[in-house]
Structure 1
Amino acid sequence: MKADPVVQRRLLDLARVDTELARVEHRRRTLPEIVEIAEAEKQVRAKQDALTAVETTLGDLDRDVKRQETEIDQVRAREERDRGLLAGGSVGAKQLTDLEHELATLGRRRGALEDDLLELMERREAVEVDSQHASAQFANAQETLADAARRRDSALADLESTEAKRTAERKTIASTFEAPLLAVYDRVRLHKGTGAALLQSRRCGACRIELDRSAIAKVKEALADDVVQCEECGAIMVRTGESGL
């Protein structure tokens, strides 16, 4: 394949743009924020599960407290009724004895219920503290995730801007090459990563391998407009005064 030496040197401009586009793509795939977000999402799920568990316990305790208070109110109402009957003086001696016995029983029952209620209230206070702590941790985890997402989005926006500029630049440069030369360049680039590189000090700029004597001899024999490819990586080697030939 033939190409004017000036045209071959312009391949280095195309390779420079393609290298930058490759860096953009690599950067997009390996943003540290991606790892941060994955870990932050895991923490958000864990903190949310912890908060849900505490809130469930708190809800159960609230129902227990309400049930206990309702039972205490019922006992108190029964006591008030019995005291009203005693105060009315309209009950017989046997019923009076029964009422006094029932009042004593109700008093003990109410005392036990109130003790249980106090224990429930103390447990609820402790769980409420746990709930507040879990809620704060959940909020912190959410903020950490949001911060990582904001930084990721900012980095991606910068990369997209760079990519758009370089893509436009590549289109302009690529349009200056004949289709066969560009096809060879693109084929090598897609398979090896670099389509063209400078031959410098007898070393291929793409694979960094120094050419042996036979390869150097072939390159020396090639005409200036011959398109020379590296025997190792296939990249088009652009020859200049720095090639060491």
Structure 2
Amino acid sequence: MKADPADQRRLLDLAEVDAELARLAHRRRSLPEDAEHAQAETAVRSAKDKLVEVETSAGDLDRDIRRLERDVEAVRARTVRDQQLLAGAGIGAKQASDLQHELETLARRQGVLEDEQLEVMEQREAVGIDLDHARGDLARAEQTLADVGARRDSALADIAAAEAGRERARAEVVAQMGAADLLAAYEARRSQGKVGAGLLRERRCGACRLELDRTFIGQLRAAAADDVVPCEECGAILVRTAESGL
């Protein structure tokens, strides 16, 4: 293949732009904010799970408290009724004895219920503190997630802007290329994830950085300026300039 030496030199500009685009793509794939965001999402899920757990405990204790309040109120109401019956006229000795015994039983029952109620209320108070902590932890985790998300979005926007600039620069270089075959050969290598072209300098290929043997260098010296010569090591198009030392 033959191509104008000027077009061959333009491949170096194209390769430089493509290298920058590759670096930007790598940066996009390996953003530290991505890992931070994943960690922050995990922290939010964990905080939500913990909050649900504590809320469930609080709800269970609240139901226990309401049940105990109803039980205590029922005992008190029964006590008032028995006291009224005991104080009433026309009550027999046996009935009075039975009522007195029931009042004693109700008093003991009320004491047990009130002790249990106090214990449960103390537990609920402790869980209330845990609930406040869990809500605070969730709020902080969600704020961290939002902050990391904002930083990630900003980093991605910077990368996108840089990529857009490099794509414009690439389009300008391609528009200046007159050798379609040369460009096609370069793009074919690039589509394979390989460096398409490299500057020959001090017997080294700018694409693979390997030193070329003397025989091949001799062939390069003998080649015409418009000959398109691939690197014998990596296959990239070797671009010869005044820096090549031929």
Q: Deviations over 1:179-223 (max 9, x none)?
A: 211110111222253111211111101100011111111111111
The yes-or-no answer on 1:23 pairing with 2:23 is: yes
Q: Could you tell me which residue of structure 1 aligns to residue 36 of structure 2? A: 36
Q: Could you tell me which residue of structure 2 aligns to residue 216 of structure 1? A: 217
Q: Could you tell me which residue of structure 2 aligns to residue 109 of structure 1? A: 109
| Correspondences of 1:127-206 after superposition (within 5 Å) | 127-177=127-177, 178-206=179-207
Q: Deviations over 1:90-114 (max 9, x none)?
A: 4222111111111111000000000
Helix, strand or coil at the partner of 1:237 = strand
Q: How much has 1:88 moved relative to structure 2?
A: 2.5
Q: Which amino acid aligns with 2:121?
A: M
TM-score of the two chains, using structure 2 as the length reference: 0.96
- Structure 2 residue ranges without an equivalent (≥5): none
Distance in 2 of aligned mates of 1:183 and 1:226: 16
Distance in 2 of aligned mates of 1:71 and 1:185: 87
Q: Which amino acid aligns with 2:58?
A: L
Q: Could you tell me which residue of structure 1 aligns to residue 83 of structure 2? A: 83
Distance 1:192 1:218, change over 3 A: farther
CA contact (8 A) 1:2 1:225 kept: yes
Q: Which amino acid aligns with 1:222?
A: A
Q: Could you tell me which residue of structure 1 aligns to residue 61 of structure 2? A: 61
Distance in 2 of aligned mates of 1:190 and 1:232: 19
Q: Which amino acid aligns with 1:3?
A: A
Q: Which amino acid aligns with 2:76?
A: R
Distance in 2 of aligned mates of 1:13 and 1:65: 77
Distance in 2 of aligned mates of 1:90 and 1:77: 22
- Structure 1 residue ranges without an equivalent (≥5): none
Distance in 2 of aligned mates of 1:205 and 1:36: 37
Q: Which amino acid aligns with 2:109?
A: R
Distance in 1 of aligned mates of 2:125 and 2:240: 81
Helix, strand or coil at the partner of 1:242 = helix
Helix, strand or coil at the partner of 1:34 = helix
Q: Could you tell me which residue of structure 2 aligns to residue 70 of structure 1? A: 70
Q: How much has 1:27 moved relative to structure 2?
A: 0.7
Distance in 1 of aligned mates of 2:242 and 2:153: 45
RMSD: 1.2
Q: Which amino acid aligns with 1:88?
A: G
The yes-or-no answer on 1:49 pairing with 2:34 is: no
